[in-house]
């Protein structure tokens, strides 16, 4: 469809057609995905939709107009601050997602350093495992990212962080946990460095913020990562991940308003009037805030604790099962429900294993440096863990028996991309792919691929990068 229909259609026919569009999407309801979705069940989804619908037209742009929406946001922030051991001075907002939370931290600390220390060439210290959203923040706000290598346990090397601090450093980042490997950075050590150097420390707990506290309550070893660590000045945590809220909601919290005020945008000269905004968005959708509040009320501490127990039991079962498969090994010692695993055999291509798993109906995430497969466990995976391990063992056996699989299909594409030394060439080709996807001919391109039975993004990447072989 390329234009608005001349005559409007009835609601039910539109909804019926919408339902047909997702037939090729990953089967997350059956636990076949290992990222992107934190689905519990249809009853919970219906509940979130109803809560969001109550505020579907509400706009958080003006908190003096929608006072009920501001109340909901304040309570989400206060409940999160309590969970993460913030005191009465802790403050923050609900954002549109983890990326906005990360971007806001970069903007806040850049502006604070410019005002307080007159820093004009800002730098921020990031672990190599930091989420790519921090690179986006660096690019958007012109802050130089200083990447620090990981130690043997895939945590950032704190001593190298200490040595990387300069007069231009505006913030230090630690992850709880880092997305690629599921391990928590040494936040206490980073906090000591931050206090000694008088530099803010942000903890990216977008993944772990609503799970790690309950994992700790269950008795699992979780290193301190929140406001209990004196040097921590801010934390981001996504309600739409293990908070089990609707998509489009995260939080960013600061230790106090003296820090957070640098996040706030104010304009006094616009003809439309004085304008103030606490986040990146102007119009702030109310539905996500309402659903976040509703999810936290419906789950309660007991509900979150029960889900955490279920998740950790499943995670341990999966990791033990993967380590028991000859040729596979878990990376590091994950503290919660996400992990990566690699091949220990030169001729056993891990990306080829991923390809064979996808043939069996799994949506598999691939990573690089080192080449590995990734999984993030949710409650939906409890009932399919044994099936996953069985399919994984069979996939490994297939690749071991036929090494040529490692140089075919997606395995060849991902393997080649991860090893190409000319990263600017990689960037150029990926940018071209994005131009095709989001340009005026994007829909036609997608339809042509669908009709031809091709593999979408992976197929397009393959065609682009095969040129690099010549």
The Cα-based distances of 181 to 47, 72, 90, 97, 350 in angstroms read: 32, 34, 29, 21, 16
Q: What secondary structure letter does DSSP report for 33?
A: B
The predicted pLDDT at position 408 comes to: 67
DSSP, residue by residue, 30-67 = GT-BSSS-----HHHHHHHHHHHHHTTT-BTT-TTT-H
The predicted pLDDT at position 27 comes to: 87
**Do 371 and 418 touch, CB atoms closer than 8 A?**
yes
Please name the residue that has the structure tokens 């921090």. 134
Please name the residue that has the structure tokens 């000694």. 196
What domains are defined for the chain?
51-297 (3.40.640.10), 420-469 (no CATH)
For residue 253, the tally of other CB atoms under 10 A from its CB is 28
Query: Would you give the distance in Å from CA 65 to the centre of its chain?
Result: 32
Show the CA angle centred on residue 165, arms to residues 157 and 195, nearest 5°. Answer: 85
Left (φ > 0), alpha (ψ -120 to 50) or beta: where does 273 sit?
left
The predicted pLDDT at position 274 comes to: 83
Token pair of 357 as six digits: 């798993």
Query: Which one, of 419, 398, 390, lies nearest residue 353 by Cα?
Result: 398
Instruction: Read off the pLDDT of residues 331-383 as tens digits, 9 standing for 90 and up.
Output: 999 999 999 999 999 889 999 999 999 999 999 999 988 999 999 999 999 99
The ranges of the chain with pLDDT < 50 are 444-445, 447-460, 462-470
**Do 200 and 171 touch, CB atoms closer than 8 A?**
yes
CA distance 36 to 100: 17
Residues ≥6 apart with Cβ < 8 Å to 42: 29
For residue 250, the tally of other CB atoms under 10 A from its CB is 27
List, in sequence order, every residue forming a beta bridge with 174; answer none if it has no partner: 203
**Do 131 and 179 touch, CB atoms closer than 8 A?**
yes
CA distance 142 to 122: 8
At residue 108, what are phi and psi to the nearest 5 degrees? -60, -50
Torsion of CA 437, 136, 238, 264, to 10 degrees: -120
At residue 398, what are phi and psi to the nearest 5 degrees? -65, -45
At residue 26, what are phi and psi to the nearest 5 degrees? -60, 145
CA distance 97 to 239: 8
CA distance 418 to 42: 38
CA distance 147 to 391: 37
pTM above 0.75? yes
Instruction: Read off the pLDDT of residues 172-189 as tens digits, 9 standing for 90 and up.
Output: 999 999 999 999 999 999
């Amino acid at each position: 469809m390329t234009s608005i229909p001349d005559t409007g259609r009835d609601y039910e026919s539109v909804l019926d057609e919408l339902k047909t569009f997702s037939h090729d999407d990953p089967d997350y309801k059956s636990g076949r995905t290992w990222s992107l979705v934190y689905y519990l069940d249809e009853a919970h989804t219906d509940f979130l939709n109803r809560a969001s619908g109550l505020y579907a037209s509400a706009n958080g742009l003006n908190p003096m107009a929608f006072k009920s929406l501001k109340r909901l946001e304040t309570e989400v922030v206060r409940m999160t601050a309590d969970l993460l051991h913030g005191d009465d001075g802790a403050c923050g907002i609900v954002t549109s997602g983890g990326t906005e939370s990360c971007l806001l931290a970069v903007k806040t600390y850049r502006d604070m350093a410019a005002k307080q220390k007159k820093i004009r060439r800002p730098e921020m210290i990031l672990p190599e495992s930091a989420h790519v959203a921090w690179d986006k923040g660096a690019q958007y706000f012109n802050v130089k990212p200083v990447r620090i290598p990981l130690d043997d346990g895939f945590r950032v090397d704190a001593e190298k962080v200490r040595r990387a601090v300069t007069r231009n450093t505006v913030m230090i980042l630690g992850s709880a946990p880092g997305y690629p490997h599921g391990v928590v950075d040494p936040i206490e050590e980073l906090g000591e460095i931050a206090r000694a150097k008088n530099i803010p420390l942000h903890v990216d707990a977008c993944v772990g913020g609503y799970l790690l506290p309950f994992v700790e309550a269950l008795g699992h070893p979780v290193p301190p990562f929140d406001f209990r660590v004196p040097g921590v000045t801010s934390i981001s945590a996504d309600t739409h991940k293990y908070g089990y809220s609707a998509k489009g909601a995260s939080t960013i919290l600061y230790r106090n308003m003296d820090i957070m005020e640098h996040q706030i945008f104010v304009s006094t000269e616009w003809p439309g009037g004085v304008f103030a905004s606490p986040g990146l968005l102007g119009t702030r959708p109310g539905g996500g805030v309402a659903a976040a509040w509703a999810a936290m009320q419906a789950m309660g501490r007991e509900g979150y604790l029960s889900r955490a127990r279920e998740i950790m039991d499943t995670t341990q079962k999966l990791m033990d099962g993967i380590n028991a498969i000859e040729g596979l090994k878990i990376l590091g010692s994950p503290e919660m429900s996400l992990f990566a695993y690699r091949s220990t055999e030169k001729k056993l291509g891990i990306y080829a294993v991923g390809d064979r798993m996808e043939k069996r109906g799994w949506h598999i995430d691939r990573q690089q440096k080192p080449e590995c497969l990734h999984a993030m466990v949710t409650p939906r995976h409890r009932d399919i863990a044994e099936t996953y391990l069985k399919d994984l063992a069979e996939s490994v056996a297939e690749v071991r028996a036929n090494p040529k699989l490692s140089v075919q299909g997606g395995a060849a594409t991902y393997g080649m991309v991860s090893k190409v030394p000319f990263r600017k060439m990689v960037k150029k080709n990926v940018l071209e792919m994005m131009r095709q996807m989001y340009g005026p001919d994007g829909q036609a391109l997608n339809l042509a691929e669908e009709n031809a039975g091709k593999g979408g993004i992976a197929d397009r990447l393959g065609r682009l990068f095969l040129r690099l072989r010549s």
